Amino acid sequence: MQKAPAPTLIIGIGNPSRGDDALGPLAIERLEALALPGVELLTDFQLQVEYALDLAGRQRVIFIDATVSGPEPFDFVPVTAAEDASYSSHALTPAAVLHACRKLSDEAPAAEVLAIRGYGFELGEGLSPRAVANLHEAMAFLEATLGAGPAWPGPDPQPETPSTVYPSPVGEGGEAG
């Protein structure tokens, strides 16, 4: 007999090798230390259609990702299932993954996106000090939302100052992951 999935799924999206794009995976690392009951945590570089299977049977899903635009320090917004241009792509939006879930199981869970403002996304770049501060604020908000204790059991992620600053390669759409 297969065990029912945890009611809440939190997915951290991003590439730890691309500067502030590591915000999603870093948030998941912090949440893992809390061992939240009823919460499953996943992380990946980008969303794939296969995640629709992970969403099935959940009550709530939170997608955490870095963003190159939007409010500082973060934005927390509901997202609904929608077929969009990413639907047939190898990298989907949260709305497209929810849409695929609904097509598979006739329903999709309630979902939100926690978009944490980042500033530098170059390959090999470290975290920017402003992104670290934004991560702190986003995690405090998320802890309160989930009714959890502090998610900062150890030292802060250390920002790095690159010797050369390059413009961000991220295109329109606001998402870096």
Digitized pLDDT (tens) for each residue of the chain, 177 residues in all = 567 788 999 999 999 999 999 999 999 999 999 888 999 999 999 998 899 999 999 999 999 999 999 899 999 999 999 887 765 555 789 999 999 999 998 899 999 999 999 999 999 889 999 999 999 999 999 989 988 655 544 445 544 433 333 333 333 344 444
Per the CB < 8 A criterion, the answer to whether 50 and 81 are in contact is: no
Whether cis (ω within 30° of 0) applies to the bond prior to 153 is no
Domain count, the chain: 1
Q: What is the token pair recorded at 22?
A: 């590591």
Q: What is the reported pLDDT for 6? A: 86
Domain encompassing residue 74:
8-146
pLDDT at position 148, please?
66
Q: State the pLDDT at residue 154.
A: 45
Q: Is residue 167 part of a domain?
A: no
Residue 131 lies in a domain: yes
- The torsion angles phi and psi of 102, rounded to 5 degrees, stand at -65, -35
Q: In whole angstroms, what is the distance from residue 120 CA to residue 109 CA?
A: 32
Report yes or no: 127 and 176 within 8 Å, Cβ to Cβ.
Answer: no
- With respect to residue 50, please indicate whether it lies within any of the assigned structural domains: yes
